[in-house]
Amino acid sequence: MISVIVPVYKVEKYLRHCVDSILAQTYPDFELLLIDDGSPDGCPKICDEYASRDPRVRVIHKPNGGLISARNEGILAARGDYICIVDGDDWADENMLQFIHDTVAQSPEPLDMVLFAAHNVYEDHLEETINEVPEGFYDRERLQKEVFPYLLTDTRNGLQVGVIQAHTWDKAFKRELLAKYYTREERIRVFTDVPMTYECLLHSRNVYICNKHLYMYNKTNEGSIRAVSRENLLTESFRYLILYMREHMKGMGQSIDRQLSQYAAMLIIRTGKGFAKNDPSLRDAVQHMKEGLRETDMLSFVTVKDLPRKAGAVILLLKMRLYRPAMLLCAAKVRQDNKQAKQQ
């Protein structure tokens, strides 16, 4: 049996579509846990309505605590052999659970995780999200050779995100694995999927990875539990995220320790690009970067020698408190990204 967890907060407009997509699955042996995270709209009533109509639906009402808090409530209450997580404003392909069941049943070894792909849904088009590794079965040896060296970050072509999508919603987790490695730090409010996904992968023995698009990620909802501006958030939440990842992943291999440093640098540089792009002047961007670094001490988590040349230059300038040159480099990267986007 599969447990499907749906954290619910301010998604009244989308919730019925989400729940209907799960109840319409071609694979019927599942439970659906709707976790009402103190939603102030009509979501609690909608959740109770579905529970009264379908015995597979369970509802948990709780005070508002954020996405990780709601997700954890569902993880601890789940009864299934595997757990899927669906955001309340997204929806699932009707064959998602059948695919997970069949993949597990046909695997040569017991699977700790099943990874698939998704479509980003915009108002007028779809975009694919995929894992940047070959599809197939991965045992521990293959994971250590082909995935773990590029899990959090990939520096083979500059400083890039890792080869595995960090989302929780395009994966199925074995419940015993998730019960050990779900994220305990509920003060993390940005990139909430990252620590749980990567920690579970690092402790997995066997996984199956494919790029079959089975999930629809709604990019049109700007008011959901997850929809915050991630461009200008060099805040204490980033510090909680990095501290948690270092506590739970550091020491799991030289490549992981290096990637933890690179990941912190990537957050800093991404924020710098956001300031350069959105602030009215370079002076404002410099001031915001200076304040953010002072409040979070994020630079203490980064070693320059672990970084590619261009990223290392930005971090080195920031460590030397040469904020203006660092932000000029961030602004140049924004212009380069915009030019490449237009060419595509």
Chosen domain end from 167, 189, 218: 218
Q: Are residues 63 and 132 in the same domain?
A: yes
* Mean per-residue pLDDT over the chain, rounded: 93
Residue 65 lies in a domain: yes
Instruction: With cut-offs at 50, 70 and 90, classify the pLDDT of residue 222.
Output: low
Chosen domain end from 218, 251, 267: 218
Give the Cα separation of 66 and 11 in Å (integer): 14
Q: Are residues 289 and 193 in the same domain?
A: no
Residue 225 lies in a domain: no
Residue 223 lies in a domain: no
Place of tokens 């904020």: 323
Residue 175 lies in a domain: yes
What mean pLDDT comes out for the span 29-47?
Answer: 97
Q: Considering the chain, what percentage of its residues have pLDDT values greater than 70?
A: 96
pLDDT digits (tens, 9 = 90+) for 268-293: 999 999 999 999 999 999 999 999 99
Residue 21 lies in a domain: yes
Tell me: pLDDT of 115 over 80: yes
Q: Are residues 199 and 242 in the same domain?
A: no
Q: Are residues 67 and 157 in the same domain?
A: yes
Identify the pLDDT of residue 229.
Answer: 42
Q: Are residues 280 and 199 in the same domain?
A: no
Q: Are residues 59 and 199 in the same domain?
A: yes
Q: Are residues 33 and 179 in the same domain?
A: yes
Question: Which CATH number belongs to the domain containing residue 132 in this structure?
Answer: 3.90.550.10
Q: Are residues 78 and 211 in the same domain?
A: yes
Domain that holds residue 267: 236-343
Residue 42 lies in a domain: yes
Q: Which token pair is 140?
A: 């521990």
Q: Are residues 47 and 84 in the same domain?
A: yes
Q: Are residues 49 and 149 in the same domain?
A: yes
Which residues, including other chains, have CB under 8 Å from residue 125's CB and lie 6 or more apart?
A: none
Give the Cα separation of 336 and 163 in Å (integer): 22
User: Taking the model in full, what pTM does it have?
Assistant: 0.92
- 267 close to 238: Cβ distance less than 8 angstroms: yes
- 214 close to 117: Cβ distance less than 8 angstroms: yes
Residue 85 lies in a domain: yes
Identify the pLDDT of residue 168.
Answer: 96
Residue 266 lies in a domain: yes
What mean pLDDT comes out for the span 154-175?
Answer: 95
Place of tokens 């939603």: 39
Q: Considering the chain, what percentage of its residues have pLDDT values greater than 90?
A: 86
Q: How many domains does the chain have?
A: 2
